Structure 1
Amino acid sequence: MNITSIQHVHPAWRAALWMAGALLSFSAMAVGGRELAAELSTFQILFFRSLIGLPLVGLVVMRYGGPQQLRTRRLPLHLLRNLAHFGGQYGWFYGLAFISLAEVFAIEFTVPLWTALLAVVVLGERLTPIRLLAVILGIAGTFIILRPGSGMIHPAALAVLLAAFGYATAHTLTRKLVSTETPLAILFYMTLIQLPLGLIPALTDWTLPSPARWPWVIVVGVSALTAHYCMARALRLADATVVVPLDFLRLPLIALIGALFYGETVTWSLALGSILILSGIATNLWGEQRRQE
């Protein structure tokens, strides 16, 4: 299929193709993080992620618009956003080393629900009954997955839950930045600020990756950028109510990868909790669609 024929495909289907790229990228980053955790600390993984990402973003900036895209008067807000995002990244990669891939992704899916709550506090948005129901379903699903009354909760699961809140904070601050900053500027300052955030603590226990791990270093660095790029392209072609539900496919996809390559199983609590969390997100999307009609 050539470029001309692709342009005649319905935008929703083209968005689905871009989302397929995003799903594969997120899954590749998760597997890469799991493989690197055998040798590297979480801080080192985050450092190499930014080290590879920064020149790639720089090349894109030079190709599309030049350095003028990077002008900003909101550097403190960029810094605050990336502190939250770095914390989210740390918890996410830390969780990959200790709990199942599906459990990491399931807990991560609470991000939209925490974002809805933060939007009320930070952006002054209204907490509608539909949004409240979505948050309640998400919290219920999270409790079922973590099962706090069944014994010791794995610290990695709590780390991923805190990571979800960190991501939600970063998303909320991004919504404040997009009014004045270009997407490339947000991506550039993300890699630039997070590079020393990962390097400084990594130096205290530095380990050079073995030759067998370097391909996974590249996979993590590249897939982290392609995931966000593919999702951005999908959102340009179709409404969020079309694109976001496609992201739900990440969960069964990563569960399949975990089962095939790591022998992981899906427990009843993970399955039920995931259904409740995804139901909450779907309810919120349905409510937003009804409001716009």
Structure 2
Amino acid sequence: MSDALQSPGTRALTGIAFLVTATACFAVLDTTVKYVGAFIPVLVAVWFRYMFQAVLVSAVMLPLRGRSLLRTAHPRFQLLRGGLLLLVSVLSFLSVQYMPVGEFTAIVMISPLVVTLLAALFLHERVTPMRWVLVIGGFAGALMVVQPGGGVVGWASLLPLVMVMLYAAFQILTSRMARTEDPMTMHFYTGWVGAALSTAILPLVWQAIPDARTFGLLCLVGLMGSIGHFLLILAFARTPAATLTPFLYAQIGFAMLCGWVVFGHVPGPLELAGIGLIVLCGATASVLASRAKQPVEPPEP
């Protein structure tokens, strides 16, 4: 049955199913990156992730859309957006080398709260006292997970927090560009900007892929990233963001499951408390945003 013939309830359930599947793809991606990071430089994995996405999106969308896929009103913003997401990817791939996948994913989920903070500071948007409380609570949960000076050594404990700040800036730029740019055009340029920039620095870090198994895992990274982002686009095309956003936290559960299966890691009591606080603050912020009819920025790992 086509989307147009589906009832609103069926469309919403379909969107939720796409979203939850996307979060599972992202959890597998992060876990695979952490695993292969022991054998090859992280930047090589980043290059595989972007090149795979760029080639796949081009192969699928160019025959369907032709030159219209390339039309953009803001090429400089496309370049900036692609560069920001590349930095976010590098920091996220580095972060999972120093901390468990589940805890890392929980920190990513404070991105909507950071968007609130940056919008208030730089865009002078009005933020209610309750949302400020939620922002502070989300940061407190992140600190409980990261535990600076604890299990994660020195500067590495700051990597996921810097990544979240950069990703919040990426989300704000995306929300502004979405008013005039086609989503698939943005997806196309994001892939190729990331692929071009990572290709430029690849000779500095290149290391031969040690075996066919590692090559297969790198292809899995690219495949999971491409499928996950495509499902995310399908989900938000069918279902309002306010309905979908609470289900994004399923990624934490998938990531914790993958971390346990692959690495045998189980979060401690303090980490679990921090994860719970992040989920509580993030979900509450989503509910408040939907009631106020404000756009909800979905985290995009």
TM-score, reference length from structure 2: 0.89
Give, in angstroms, the shift of residue 124 of structure 1.
4.1
Going from structure 1 to structure 2, the CA distance change for 1:205 and 1:152 (only over 3 Å counts) comes to closer
Q: 8 Å contact 1:22–1:230 — kept in the other structure?
A: yes
User: Does the Cα contact within 8 Å between 2:259 and 2:265 map onto a contact in 1?
Assistant: yes
- Partner of 1:94, secondary structure, is helix
- One-letter code of the match for 2:137? L
Structure 1 segment 242-257 matched on structure 2, within 5 A? 242-257=243-258
Q: Which amino acid aligns with 2:262?
A: F
| Distance (whole Å) between structure 2 residues aligned to residue 194 and residue 10 of structure 1 | 36
Shift of 1:152: 6.4
Aligned in 2, Cα 1:63/1:151: closer, same or farther, shift over 3 Å? closer
Once residues 213 and 186 of structure 1 are traced to their aligned partners in structure 2, the CA distance between those partners, rounded to angstroms, is 30
Q: Could you tell me which amino acid in structure 2 is paired with residue 173 of structure 1? A: L
How many Å separate the matches in 1 of 2:291 and 2:175? 22
Distance 1:261 1:289, change over 3 A: same
Alpha-carbon distance, 1:92 to partner: 0.6
Partner AA of 1:215 in structure 2: G
* 1:263 to 1:74, Cα distance in 2 relative to 1, 3 A: same
Q: Distance in 2 between matches of 1:50 and 1:257?
A: 23
Q: Which deviations, in whole Å up to 9, do the C-alpha atoms of 1:88-125 show, x marking residues without a partner?
A: 11111111222111111111111111111222344443
Q: Tell me the secondary structure at the aligned position of residue 97 of structure 1.
A: helix
Residue 83 of structure 2 aligns with which residue? 83
Deviation at 1:205, TM superposition (A): 2.6
Counterpart amino acid of residue 222 in structure 2:
G
Q: In structure 1, what is the Cα distance between the partners aligned to 2:129 and 2:150?
A: 31
Deviations 1:212-246 (A, max 9, x none): 11221111112112212212222222222221111
Deviates more, 1:255-264 or 1:155-164: 155-164
**1:99 paired to 2:99:** yes
Q: Percent same amino acid at aligned positions?
A: 24
Q: Does 1:278 align with 2:288?
A: no
In the other structure, the counterpart of 1:213 is: 214
Does the alignment pair 1:228 with 2:229?
A: yes
In structure 2, the residue matched to 1:146 is 146
Q: CA deviation at 1:63?
A: 3.5
Single out whichever of 39-48 and 60-69 deviates more from structure 2: 60-69
Q: Give the corresponding residue for 2:168.
A: 168
- Deviation digits for residues 131-181 of structure 1, max 9, x if unmatched? 212211111111222233658645333212211112111111111111121
CA contact (8 A) 1:39 1:207 kept: no
State the one-letter code of the partner of 1:273.
Answer: G
Partners in 1 of 2:96 and 2:150 — Cα distance? Answer: 22
- Rounded Cα–Cα distance in structure 1 between residues aligned with 2:75 and 2:153: 38
Q: Distance in 2 between matches of 1:245 and 1:213?
A: 34
Inter-partner Cα distance in structure 1 for 2:285 and 2:103? 22
Q: Structure 2 vs 1, CA of residues 84 and 52 (structure 1 numbering), >3 Å: closer, same or farther?
A: same
Separation of aligned partners in 1, 2:150 and 2:194: 37
d(CA) in 2 for partners of 1:152 and 1:42? 18
Question: 1 CA distance for matches of 2:269 and 2:291?
Answer: 33
> Aligned pair 1:183/2:183, yes or no?
yes
- How far apart are the structure 1 equivalents of 2:256 and 2:212? 28
- Partner residue of 1:27? 27
> Could you tell me how far apart the structure 1 residues matched to 2:46 and 2:123 are?
29
Label 1:223 to 1:13 Cα distance change in 2 as closer, same or farther (>3 A).
Answer: same
Q: Is the 8 A contact 1:91 1:156 kept in 2?
A: no
Which range moves more in the overlay, 149-158 or 37-46? 149-158
Q: Does 1:260 align with 2:261?
A: yes
2:288 match: 287
CA distance in 1, matches of 2:122, 2:106: 25
Q: Which residue of 2 aligns with 1:113?
A: 113
Question: How far has the Cα of 1:33 moved from its partner?
Answer: 0.8
Once residues 187 and 122 of structure 2 are traced to their aligned partners in structure 1, the CA distance between those partners, rounded to angstroms, is: 22
Distance 1:292-1:171 versus aligned 2 partners, 3 A rule: closer
- The alignment's TM-score, normalised by the length of structure 1, stands at 0.91
Provide closer, same or farther for how the CA distance between residues 152 and 282 of structure 1 changes in structure 2, counting only shifts above 3 A: closer
**Residues 234-282 of structure 1: CA distance to partner in whole angstroms, max 9, x if unpaired?**
2222222221111111112211221122111211121111111111111
Distance 2:104 2:151 in 1: 19
